[in-house]
Amino acid sequence: MGQPWSSLRVAGVALDVPEQLAPSQERAIEGGAAVLEGAGIRLTVDASPFADPLTRYTAKPGYEHWQENVGSATADFVSFEEEGIRTLAANFPGRATAVVHLSPGAERDTALQILRSIRTDQGESND
């Protein structure tokens, strides 16, 4: 994981991402949502009170759920695999959800590092 990282802001939510991730052709950074892709990773961020609560994936193969303190908030994390794609996601209830899809060979640790970098302080400015 020696690649350079940069900070990304989406509607008051900040997170760190590998520099290889770039806005997706289909949907870049707009309002409270962003989609970035690169290096076998697809990251989707929804910074809204109606973001996916991650409660509908319990039947997915390899499903795991846990909670972690991230910054000043408690986040719900899920992980599962479907059709060769590993998905890791974090939900900050009423604030934001970030989902990382990993192609085979992409590092799970990189996805966790992205999700654990999320900062949801209400006082952050919108860029």
The DSSP line for the chain is: --S-EEEEEETTEEEEEETT-EE-SS---BTTEEEEEETTEEEEEE-STTS--S-S-TTSTT-EEEEEEETTEEEEEEEEEETTEEEEEEEETTTEEEEEEE-TTS-HHHHHHHHHT-B--TTPPP-
Q: Calculate mean pLDDT across residues 100-118.
A: 94
pTM, entire model: 0.87
Residue 124 has pLDDT above 50, yes or no: no
Residue 52 has pLDDT above 80, yes or no: yes
Question: Which structural domains are found in the chain, ordered by start?
Answer: 5-116 (3.40.1000)
